[in-house]
Amino acid sequence: MTRNGSAELIGTSRQFVALTQEIDRVARSDAKVLITGESGVGKELVARAVHSRSTRAHRVFVPVNCAGLPETLLESELFGHVKGSFTGAYRDKPGKLEIADSGTVFLDEIGEMTLRMQGLLLRFLETGELQKVGSDASGGRVNVRVVAATNRDLRELIGLGQFREDLFYRLNVIHLVVPPLRERKEDIPIMITHSLKSFSTRGDYSVRSIDADAMAALSEYRWPGNVRELENVIERLVVTCRNEEATLDDLPHEIRSRHEGTHRPRRERRRTIADDLYKRLVEDRESFWTAVYPLYMQREITRSNVRDLVGKGLQEARGNYKIVAQLFNLESRDYKKFLNFLRKHECQLPFREYRDGHSAQQAS
Ligand SMILES: Nc1ncnc2c1ncn2[C@@H]1O[C@H](COP(=O)(O)OP(=O)(O)OP(=O)(O)O)[C@@H](O)[C@H]1O
Ligand SMILES: [Mg+2]
């Protein structure tokens, strides 16, 4: 972490260096910025960099997640409200735009705003005047720099009538595109080294480095969840790897298997139902409760499919059910519920067989 609580931007690829140069140029002006890119590419980090390299750096950076709140709450969150304007409004409350005065407001996931909210935001951008919820009078003017981000294609949303074109042009004065990791593969090894260092110093862990084969597999992987996924993979590696140097065998199945597929041709194995389910959970990041549980309850899939799926998870997690729950995108508070489900339906496999890499699959 550096000043303003912003983490440093890491990357040496041509694309990434061009982006950081653009950030420096953009930071000098006060123009509105729209940041786009896939999920997990670093849009928020880029927004923080625009702020911390600008003349507003000593003032506040105020993030607002436009997807996290229902419309009426988002309106009061952004513009503030006056006492008594709705049930629970016990006192006047300033909005984030007012709090961000002379600083930067970061409107994250702008593509999720309702059309009415988009109208209110547009009015603010045109006049600079705050209209608090429950007040007829203007709440005064503020001087904020607006940086917005989305992983949606706003032009497509405009075509669908879900995003206002006039707002799009207001926000899109400067457009920063954060490229996905797979388009700047040179950045992968240094990000891995950086993550490895930061996670391994947080506890008493063995792993210190990653061997060349494993690094090659990590660099070739598609990273659909980009930097956030990379950080998760390295954190899991740090927790599960028992050796000082991690090898291919220590990597998650989906990363290892692609690599093996390209380098050591093997006998084709038919994809099983468990493979498909596993992919939906681990790669497409669906939750066990929505992707697997209903299918099982409606008898679309069998107990043995679920057992195979759990086996794949355990193999990946080296027998650690907590990590299986993470892999299957369960909230930590659902861990007990998950184990209860497995127990009740006789899908809880003995974890010991999966410790130290001695999985049933490898043994057979
Ligand atoms: N270039 C980078 N250098 C270092 N860390 C990075 C970089 N890019 C992203 N990260 C890290 O990756 C994680 C995801 O970044 P961030 O939250 O900015 O992504 P995002 O694009 O806003 O994702 P989402 O669309 O899911 O909101 C964070 O932990 C961030 O610190
Ligand atoms: Mg984000």
- pLDDT (tens digit, 0 to 9) for every residue of the chain, 364 residues total? 333 445 689 999 999 999 999 999 999 999 999 999 999 999 999 999 999 999 999 999 999 999 978 888 999 999 999 888 887 788 888 999 999 999 999 999 999 999 999 999 999 999 988 989 888 877 789 999 999 999 999 999 999 999 999 999 999 999 999 999 999 999 999 999 999 999 988 888 889 999 999 999 999 999 999 999 999 999 999 999 989 999 999 999 889 876 665 555 445 567 888 999 999 999 889 999 999 999 999 888 889 999 999 999 999 888 899 999 999 999 989 999 999 999 999 999 988 888 764 544 443 3
Q: Give the Å distance between the CA of 47 and the centre of ligand 2.
A: 10
Strands (E), 206-314: 209-210, 245-246
Please say whether the beta carbons of 9 and 20 come within 8 A: yes
**What is the rounded CA–CA span in Å between residue 170 and residue 184?**
30
Amino acid identity of 195? S
Strands (E), the chain: 33-36, 61-65, 80-81, 93-94, 104-108, 145-150, 174-177, 209-210, 245-246
SS3 66: coil
Q: Which residues contact 325 (CB under 8 A, 6 or more apart)?
A: 332, 334, 335, 338
Ligand 1 atom nearest 151 alpha carbon: 25
pTM over 0.85: no
Residue nearest to atom 28 of ligand 1 (CA): 228
Instruction: Give residue ranges with CB within 6 A of ligand 1.
Output: 7, 9-11, 37, 39-45, 151, 227-228, 231
Take residue 337 and report the two structure tokens written for it.
């519920």
Q: Which residues contact 28 (CB under 8 A, 6 or more apart)?
A: 54, 55
Please say whether the beta carbons of 280 and 286 come within 8 A: yes
Residue nearest to atom 30 of ligand 1 (CA): 42
Residue of 16, 45, 150 best suited for mutating to test ligand 1, as the one with most atoms within 8 Å of CB: 45
